[in-house]
Amino acid sequence: MRRVASSGLALSVTAAFIALVFAALVTVGVLIVTGYPPVQTIEQMVTYGSEPDSVVNTINRATTFFLSAIAVAIGFQMKLFNIGVDGQYRLAAFLAAAAGGSAFVAGLPPGLQQLVIIVVAMLVGGVWAGIAGVLKVTRGVSEVISTIMLNFIGGGVISYLLSPGRLAIREGNNLTTRPIGPDGQVPGIPFPDANFAVYGLIVLAIVVGFLYHAGVRRTRFGFDLRATGLSAPAALASGVDVRRMTVAAMLLSGLVAGLVGIPQLLGDAHRFALDFPVGIGFTGIAIALLGRNNALGIALSALLFAFLTESAQILDLNEIPKEIVTITQAVVVLSVVVVYEVVHRFGVRIQRQAVGRQLATAEGGAAA
Amino acid sequence: MTSGERPVSPGETAVELRGITKRFPGVVANHDVDLTVRRGTVHAVVGENGAGKSTLMKILYGMQAPDEGMIAIDGETVRLGSPAEAIAHGIGMVHQHFMLAGNLTVLENVVLGAEKAHGIGAAARRRIMEISDAYGLDVQPDRLVAEQGVGQLQRVEILKVLYRGARTLILDEPTAVLVPQEVDKLFGNLRELKREGLTVIFISHKLDEVLSVADEITVMRQGTTVASVDPAGTSARELATLMVGGELPVPELRESTVTDTPVLDVRGLTVRTDEGRAVVSDVTFTIHEGEILGIAGVEGNGQAELIEALMGVRQPESGGIRLGERDIASWPTKRRREAGIGYIPEDRHRQGLLLESPLWENRILGHQGEFAPRGVLRLGRARADTRRIVDSYDVRTPGIGVDVDALSGGNQQKLIVGREMSGTPRVLIAAHPTRGVDVGAQAAIWEHLRAARADGLAVLLISADLDELIGMSDTLRVIYRGELVAELDPASVTPEDLGSAMTGARPEAPEAPDSPDRPDRPDGPEAAGGDAGEDTKDA
* Residue B222 pLDDT greater than 80, yes or no: no
Interacting residues of B301 by C-beta distance below 8 A, sequence separation 6+: B479, B480, B481, B482, B502, B532, B536
Give the chain B residue nearest A214 (alpha carbons).
B376
Q: Assign residue B91 a region: left if phi > 0, alpha if psi is -120 to 50, beta otherwise?
A: beta
Q: Which of B23, B376, B402 sits opposite A218 (nearest CB)?
A: B376
Which among B377, B379, B386, B429 is the top mutation candidate for probing chain A, defined by the most A β-carbons within 10 Å of its own β-carbon? B377
Say what the pLDDT of residue A356 is: 67
**Cβ atoms of residues B220 and B45 within 8 Å:** yes
Point out the least confidently predicted range of A173-187, A193-207, B137-151, B282-296. B137-151
Decide if A230 and B352 are in contact by the 8 Å CB cutoff: no
Say what the pLDDT of residue B25 is: 60
Distance from CA of B234 to the nearest CA of A (A): 36
Q: Which of B337, B377, B398 sits opposite A355 (nearest CB)?
A: B398
Say what the pLDDT of residue B532 is: 37
CA distance linking residue B387 with residue A88, whole number of Å? 45
Decide if B399 and A231 are in contact by the 8 Å CB cutoff: no
Give the chain B residue nearest A358 (alpha carbons).
B398
pLDDT tens digits along B237-280: 778 778 776 555 667 777 788 888 999 999 999 999 888 888 99
Say what the pLDDT of residue B253 is: 76
Please give, one letter per residue, the 3-state secondary structure of chain A.
CHHHHHHHHHHHHHHHHHHHHHHHHHHHHHHHHCCCCHHHHHHHHHHHHCCHHHHHHHHHHHHHHHHHHHHHHHHHHCCCCCCCHHHHHHHHHHHHHHHHHCHHHHCCCCCHHHHHHHHHHHHHHHHHHHHHHHHHHHHCCCHHHHHHHHHHHHHHHHHHHCCECCCEEEECCEEECCCCCHHHCCCCEECCCCCCEECCCHHHHHHHHHHHHHHHHHEHHHHHHHHHHHCHHHHHHCCCCHHHHHHHHHHHHHHHHHHCCHHHHHHHHCCCECCCCCCHHHHHHHHHHHCCCCHHHHHHHHHHHHHHHHHCHHHHHCCCCCHHHHHHHHHHHHHHHHHHHHHHHHHHHHHHHHHHHHHHHHHHHHHC
Distance from CA of A79 to the nearest CA of B (A): 14
Binned at pLDDT 50, 70 and 90, residue B519 comes out as very low
Decide if A219 and B372 are in contact by the 8 Å CB cutoff: yes
Which among A3, A12, A219, A223 is the top mutation candidate for probing chain B, defined by the most B β-carbons within 10 Å of its own β-carbon? A223
Distance from CA of B144 to the nearest CA of A (A): 29
Q: Chain B contact for A239, CB < 8 A?
A: yes
Point out the least confidently predicted range of A29-43, B130-144, B340-354, B525-539. B525-539
Distance from CA of B513 to the nearest CA of A (A): 43
Decide if A221 and B26 are in contact by the 8 Å CB cutoff: no
ipTM for the assembly: 0.85
DSSP state of B488: E
Q: Chain B contact for A240, CB < 8 A?
A: yes
Residue B519: count of CB within 10 angstroms of its CB: 7
| SS3 at position B42 | strand
Q: Which of A5, A233, A362 sits opposite B351 (nearest CB)?
A: A233
Whether pTM exceeds 0.80 = no
Give the chain B residue nearest A221 (alpha carbons).
B375
Point out the least confidently predicted range of A22-26, A335-339, B404-408. B404-408
Please give, one letter per residue, the 3-state secondary structure of B235-303.
CHHHHHHHHHCCCCCCCCCCCCCCCCCEEEEEEEEEEECCCCCEEEEEEEEEEECCCEEEEECCCCCCH
* Residue A37 pLDDT greater than 80, yes or no: yes
Say what the pLDDT of residue B271 is: 93
Q: Rounded mean pLDDT of B3-16? A: 63
CA distance linking residue A305 with residue A326, whole number of Å? 10
Give, in words, the CATH class of A58-302. mainly alpha
Q: Chain B contact for A326, CB < 8 A?
A: no
Binned at pLDDT 50, 70 and 90, residue A214 comes out as very high
Give the chain A residue nearest B361 (alpha carbons).
A223
What is the count of residue pairs from A and B with beta carbons less than 8 Å apart? 122
Decide if A230 and B351 are in contact by the 8 Å CB cutoff: no
pLDDT tens digits along A115-145: 999 999 999 999 999 999 999 999 999 999 9
pLDDT tens digits along B434-446: 876 766 677 888 9
Interacting residues of B249 by C-beta distance below 8 A, sequence separation 6+: B439, B442, B443, B446
Chain A residues touching B337 at Cβ < 8 A: 238-239
Decide if B334 and A2 are in contact by the 8 Å CB cutoff: no
Q: Which of A220, A237, A348 sits opposite B313 (nearest CB)?
A: A237
Q: Rounded mean pLDDT of B144-168? A: 87
Decide if A234 and B311 are in contact by the 8 Å CB cutoff: no
Decide if A355 and B405 are in contact by the 8 Å CB cutoff: no
Chain B residues touching A223 at Cβ < 8 A: 361, 364, 368, 372, 377
DSSP state of B350: I
Which among B310, B387, B395, B402 is the top mutation candidate for probing chain A, defined by the most A β-carbons within 10 Å of its own β-carbon? B402
